[in-house]
Amino acid sequence: MRSAMTRRAAIKTAALATTALIAAPYIRGAHAAGKLAIGFWDHWVPGANNATKTLVEEWAAKEKVDVTIDYIPSQGMKNLITIAAESQARSGHDIFAFPSWQPHGHADNLAPVNDIMDELIKQNGAVNDTVTYLGKLGDKWLAVPATVGSQIKGPCSRIDLFKKHAGIDLQEIYPAGAAPKADSWTLDTFLKAAEACHKAGFPFGIGLGTTADSVDSAGAFFHAYGATLVDAKGNITVKTDAVRQALEFYKKLASFMPSDIPAWDDASNNKWLVSGRGAHIMNPPSAWAVAKRDAPQVAEQLWTHGFPVGPKGRFAPFLPYFWGIWSFSKNIPAAKSLLVHLSTRSAAEKMVAASGGYDLPSFASFTNFKTWAEEGPPKGTLYHYPNPHNHQVLSISAAPAPPKIAYQIYTEGLQTKMIVRYMQGEPMEKVLAWGETEVEGFMRT
């Protein structure tokens, strides 16, 4: 006797099976558990790695997966070198922590994670446009935004010096536990504050090198003027009034900062603030955390707050890390299961707590953890760090250019180089012409 299956029944069964496959947690079958090798970013905050270690071990014990974790530092670009090597060899870890631009750089070697991203967005809320820009290629989600390592490089300023020399009460503009009242916090106010603090002997310290901190800050100011070097369609837009305005602004700003800022790296601004020589830097709370340990009298005067608003809006640099799965991984289902586990609210909260508020989840409903509200001194200093009232656009330097071009602009520090050239006396049009030829070079495929 033959049992006939109708077309409708077949479609129903297939749909149920697909849903179950996507929605169900990774279930260990007799031979499915296997091994999983993870390459996490080695956190600079002492003890912060323990959060991911504990979470992974919990998951591994439950799912009976044999897990190995390597913590790979970004210092000396060891993580970038490892990514390049594994991508070339098509062998290595199963899951890797990719810095912002890397998912696009290795898109062909990454397993799509649309299934888990759709679920995570439903569960945790939307991700911002910068995460989508960096983590998605067409319809393919390349990787899952990671809590560990993701950061906003917002302003961190001295409460006392701003009040005394610039007449600005930062805690009033950005009150702890409440929405910002930052309408008066504009680029003009920012420039006047920079001048006042410079005159008082406490200059702002924003680098103009080619490392990430310098490039990110420049990018946010360029966005505030609507200045892009390449638009989303790939057209070169270097010779525009917006770019000219951004360069003019930066030239003025640079005149109120130390003359050696073109040589600054990502440690220079931290040192500048912690030493007590400066009134302001652009950084995640790492400088504050170091000051809390090494210079508590400085730390208790630090306030993390939002960017000044420009003609085209208020933009803050957001640098997400991603957890990606190599397409050559032999255990993709287990890797996806682990990434879902690491992206739950409770997991993210543990990571944020372990990093003292430094790490930043990308999902909309994850900006109100108690760590940011309670960390101090001064209490509430990190309240505005995760942009809880969504009053600034989280952006990345060189966007909205197509990521493969934007990555070159970012890595080469093209915006900061243009600023330094103009600042050191090169005529505006010559700087723009140079910038244009550089961008033309980045267009090659």
Partner 1 sequence: MVDAAISDVRELSTPAKRTGMRRMLQRKSSIAFLMTLPLILLIGLLVLYPAFYAVHLATLNKSMQRFVGLSNFTFLFNRETFWMVVRQSCIFALTAVIFKALIGFVVAHFVHNVPANKQRRWRGILLIPWVIPPAMSTLAWLWLFDPSYSAFNWILVHLGLSPVAWTGDAYWARFSVILINVWFGAPFFLIMYLAALKSVPDQLYEAAQIDGANWWQRIWFVTLPMMRNIIAITVLFSTIVTFANFDIVQVLTAGGPIDKTHVFATWAFRLGIQGGDIPLGASVSLFMFPILAVCAIFILRDIRRRGNEAS
- The residues that touch partner 1, with contacts defined as CB under 8 A, are 77, 80-81, 84, 88, 101, 105, 108, 209-211, 258-265, 268, 271-272, 275, 277, 407-408, 411-412, 417, 420-421, 434, 437-438, 441, 444-445
* Euclidean distance between CA atoms 407 and 255, whole angstroms: 29
When the beta carbons of 180 and 320 are compared against partner 1, the nearer one is 320
Contacts 24+ apart (CB under 8 A), 79-82: 79/39, 79/41, 82/39
- Of 79 and 371, the one with the shorter C-beta distance to partner 1 is 79
Q: Give the shortest CB-108-to-partner 1 separation in angstroms.
A: 8
How many CB atoms within 10 Å of residue 365? 12
Closer Cβ to partner 1, 281 or 351, answer by number: 281
The string over 294-323, giving b where at least 16 C-beta atoms fall within 10 Å of a residue's C-beta and e elsewhere, is ebeebbbbbbbbbbbbbeeebbbbbbbbbb
Distance CA 51, CA 54 (A): 5
Eight-class DSSP state of 445: -
115 versus 426: smaller Cβ distance to partner 1: 426
Judged by beta carbon, residue 135 or residue 380, the one nearer partner 1 is: 135
Q: How far is the CB of 268 from partner 1 (least distance, A)?
A: 6
Give the pairing of strands 136-137 and 393-395. unpaired
Is-contact 313 319, C-beta < 8 A?
Answer: no
CA distance 98 to 323: 6
Nearest residue (CB) to partner 1, 149 versus 262: 262
The C-alpha atoms of residue 325 and residue 378 are separated, in whole angstroms, by 40
Nearer to partner 1, 293 or 430 (CB): 430
Rounded to a whole number of angstroms, the minimum distance from the CB of residue 235 to partner 1 is 20
Least Å distance, CB 95 to partner 1, is 20
Q: From the CB of 134, what's the least distance to partner 1, in Å?
A: 14
The least CB distance from residue 157 to partner 1, in Å, is 18
Task: Return the DSSP state at 268.
Answer: H
What is the closest distance, in whole angstroms, from the C-beta atom of residue 216 to partner 1 in the complex? 15
